[in-house]
Each structure stands twice: as C-alpha cells, then as structure tokens.
Amino acid sequence: MLTLTLLAALLAPTDSKISMLDGQAHRGVLVAVSSTDVEITENGTRVKLPIDDVMVIEFPATAAASEETQMLFFTDGSQIHSTSIARTAKSLTAQTALFGAVDASVEAIHAVRLQPENPSFTQQWTTFLKRDAEKDNLVVAKRDGSGLDFLAGIVSNVTATQVEFLLDGETIPVPAERVYGIVFARTKNIATPATIQLSSAVGDVLAAKSITLQGDQFKAELAWGQAVSIALNSVQKIDLSSGRIQFLSDMPALAERFDGVDPENSLFTGLIDADQQKLLFGPQRNTTIERQSRLRLRGREFSKGLCIHSRTEMQWDLQKKFSAMECLVGIDDEVAFNGSHVVSLKISGDGNVLFEKLITTTDDPLPLRLSLDGISTLTVLVDFGDGSSVCDWLDIADAKLVIAKDKL
C-alpha cells in the first residue's frame, strides 16, 4: 500500500486534476487528502477517491523559468535549482528559493551544475551525467565555446569562488566561474526507495518517501532523509504511480524481428547486409533511430518510449500481470516534416488484435489505452503503410503498462 500521508483540509480551495489507475480523470476543487483518500468537490458534489487508485494529482500552477542558475542532481533522481552550492569531503549544502537550505551527504549527490544551463551544451552534459565514472569529472566549457571538456580527478571542496581539484597528486584551485559542472564518482546509492515524485512549477523534481500537508505548506520527507517544505501554490504535480506502472521500453523483449527497411528488400542490396541494417535501423528505446535525441511528437519530448522502423515485430511476456497499456503513437518529428509518410501499426494480445491503424505524418499524435487483462503475450508490428519505408520512424511514446491491482 502506498505510504502517502497528506493530512488536514486546505485553507484555500485548489483546483486539481486526478488521474486514476483505470484511466478515468476527475477534475474539481481539492478539499483534502489523507492516507486513504483524495477528496474533491466535483460538479458541486463531494467525492472521495481511494488513494491506492490514484496515479497523479496535478495542480494548475503555471510553469515558470527559475531564476536560480545552479542545479543539484541526486542519486535518487531528484533535481533541485539552487542559488549557491558548497561542498566538503563529507557533505553538501545549498540554498534554494522554494525549499530553503538543502543538506545532504556527498553519497546522495550525483552531480552539480554550477553555471546557467547552456542549451548548446545540454546533450554533452546529459552524456556526462550518464557516465559511470570512477573519479570525479570536472566539466568545463572550452574557451572557444564549442563544447564541454573534462578532467578526471578528486574534488575535495567547492565554494562560491573556487573548486579544489586533486589531479595527479597536486591540488589545483579552479575558479568556480570556469567550471560548468561536476559529475561525482559513482558511489553506492544510500537513498531509500521513494514512492512519490513531486514536481514544482519551476522544474524541480523531488523523490519523497512521504508527504504531508499542513495549512498551505507541503512537508516532504525526501529519499536522502531531509525534510523540506514547499508552498502548495508552488507544486505542479504529485506522481504516485511508482510501483504501479512499468514502462514498455524498460522491459526486455521476448522476441524481436527486423525484416529490413524496404518492402522489396532491395534498397541496400549488395551494400549493407541484414545484420548491419538491423544495427542502423533496428528499434530504439528512449531515443530515435539515429540515437541522438529523445522521441518527439509535434514538439512534445518524451524520455520514455520506443522508436520503431518498418518492418519490425516485437513481443513481450506480460505474464498476465497488467491491466492496461497507455501510450501516444505517431511519426517522430525528426522525419514528420520531411514529407508524407505512412506506417502501419498493429498491436495484438495473445494473437487477438487490440489496435490496428495506418499512421501518417499528417495525423495528430494518437493517445491509446488498451486493455491487457489476462494477456500473456503483447505483440507490436510496425509495417510498411504505403509501399515505401522512407522515414518510417514510428514512436510509441510514454508507453506505460498499468500493473493489475491484484498483482501489486
């Protein structure tokens, strides 16, 4: 059972959208939330919704850019804007506008970005964050502004003015304004698994073990052990879906067959063999076919999902564990604006067709919710829709499998 404790009635009515496990959505004035229920006034009627059936609570907070230029990245996935960061060999402290002072052990911190985000460096910085480094990586901007570079060593101290960096046995004081960010050496993750994710209106993400509401302030017990407060009107979303869903792109495929990139199997005849074609055009998880960017559908970017090229068939073993699949399907923006393309999509469960449609570049992204009750094997077939394979990049974006209640 979800360990969420949101106590007390709100002092001021708060509009909310409540998304449920069964795909329904409720909209109304949020009245109260307890360890067992979410209570709203919907169309003039008080409605209690079981907390165990709630996936997401969303608030009408307007997203805004944060004026805080620095960012903390925690090992539990939390990301918090800050105005100042100081680190010693054992702990890190930071000042934030929304949460006040943040204190954490160094083991809880994955990385810090000391400079304002530079969109030109985003892809490189993301790559640094994914590295499993044995030493601290001091990341600096190249003097000509063409990108990022790094040095591997040991960061012993961080202040507002400098970073003390041990390189080859020598301590080097590096001016803080020269450091774009620091990715710390991987250590064991000491954070307690969190079941709640709280998102602020300015883009902070907090992994929490519990959260309470006292007046107009949320009190959150964070995964690394600290308690913080955040104003109700600064919260954009509370995600309770952890442990209730599984992303399709995170599940290993039971079977995966790629039949080539054109119907006649002639496009690369004599040029590229079948194995090389699969390497170049085989299905990708959480990135596009070219592996350089996230999935995008009409300007909306997705961190999870599948990008599948015609003609590909994939299967997953569901073990009758899930009640539904939710996703958004469409031809990826990377190729959607390069011409008119058509892809055939068929989704089946245990041999029975659950969904079948031709997807074109002119279609709006199509939201799907398919029942998976009692289904053992899920099959997805992406086929040629117009006799051509040119730019057949079908996204099955944000594909979530809802775990059946009796399997939780």
Q: From the CB of residue 27, how many other CB atoms can be counted at a distance below 10 Å?
A: 12
pLDDT tens-digit profile of 317-370? 999 999 999 999 999 998 887 777 899 999 999 999 999 999 998 899 999 999
Buried b (16+ CB within 10 A) or exposed e, 41-57: eeeeeeeebebebbbbb
Residue type, 326: E
Residue 56 in contact with residue 18, Cβ under 8 Å?
yes
pLDDT band at 405 (very low <50, low <70, confident <90, very high): confident
pLDDT in the model for residue 11: 37
What integer best gives the mean pLDDT of the chain?
A: 87
Tokens for 35, please give them: 């360890």
- Tens digits of residue pLDDT in 91-106: 999 999 888 899 999 9
132 contacts 152 by C-beta, under 8 angstroms: no
Q: In angstroms, rounded to a whole number, what is the distance separating the alpha carbons of residues 405 and 323?
A: 8
**Residue carrying structure tokens 């909209």:** 27
- Asked if 228 contacts 99 with a C-beta cutoff of 8 angstroms, the reply is yes
What pLDDT score was predicted for residue 116? 93
- Tens of pLDDT, residues 119-155: 999 989 999 998 888 899 999 999 898 999 999 999 9
Q: How many C-beta atoms surround the C-beta of residue 266 within 10 A?
A: 9
> What pTM did the predictor assign?
0.76
Amino acid present at 281: F
pLDDT at residue 374 in the model: 96
CA–CA–CA angle 179, 181, 185 (5° rounding):
120
The whole-angstrom separation of Cα 135 and Cα 128 is 12
Q: Mean pLDDT over residues 293-313, rounded?
A: 94
Predicted pLDDT of residue 309: 92
3-state secondary structure of 57: strand
Alpha-carbon Rg of the chain, whole angstroms?
24
Whether residue 236 is predicted with pLDDT greater than 80 in this model: the reply is: yes
Higher pLDDT: 85 or 212? It is 85
Mean pLDDT value across residues 299-309:
94
Residue 180 burial (CB count, 10 A): 23
